[in-house]
Each structure stands twice: as C-alpha cells, then as structure tokens.
Structure 1
C-alpha cells in the first residue's frame, strides 16, 4: 500500500482518485471494480482497485471520515451525468 502521507483525507480527493481510475489516468490495466475495505491487521480503511479476478491493482488509505461518508461515491462512481 502507498505511504501514509498519501492518505485520502477528504471527499474531493476521493472523487478525484475515482475519476482517475475511471478515466484510465493511473495507467492501470484490467480494472473491473473499486471498493472500500478495512485492513484486518490494524483496522485502517482503504480504497482498493480490483481486476476481474479480484486481484488488488492499487490501494490507498482513507481516513475514517472519508470511509464513512464516501461509500456512496465509491458505490455509484464519480462520473458526472451531463
């Protein structure tokens, strides 16, 4: 997982991260989904990007506030409807 200094600590950064994944801006291949989860070892929350085989492609830590308030953003995606 990325360094703790790269923790997503607000909903705007969460939205930007999701948009980057959705738009292919992070160079990831085979993205099939994004989800939020909790690390079993220490209870920290993170956002994860998975491929079709549920293999973790990328993860970023998120704050408790972002975890609680960003679930709908992750569930529904950040793409805007024009």
Structure 2
C-alpha cells in the first residue's frame, strides 16, 4: 500500500503547491493529484536531462514535482490563451 500511497501524497502536495504558486490554476483535489504526479515525472525527466540532482528524500521529490507541475500548468495556460 505504501508504494501506491506515497506518489499520491507527493502528487497532491506538489499539485496543490503549484496551484497556489500559479494562482487560478488549481484543479481540485483529484486534478491536483494528477497534475502533481505527472509533474513529478516531468520534473524528474527535466532535472535528469539537465544533469541536476536535488538529492534524495521527500523534500527533493516534492520540489521536483512542483517544478514539473509548474511547467505543465504553464503549458496548459499557454495553450488556453492561443
């Protein structure tokens, strides 16, 4: 159960934080979890491609997921504008 619960909690925190940072882009609890989980994947890929390591642990995972979620929210807002 911990294997499933951990990404959901990290995703929820990251999605909520990204929604708070980028005002007006919150998607509710389920939407924030989804944005956060996808953001974690994007953030891990982005930092890996740049050769940057934030370290290990919960805080590093949350920071990476928040940055990835912000990238996703930026792209969504850019697409909505056009």
What TM-score results when the alignment is normalised by the length of structure 2?
Answer: 0.29
Which structure carries more helix by proportion? 2
Which structure carries more strand by proportion? 1
What TM-score results when the alignment is normalised by the length of structure 1?
Answer: 0.29
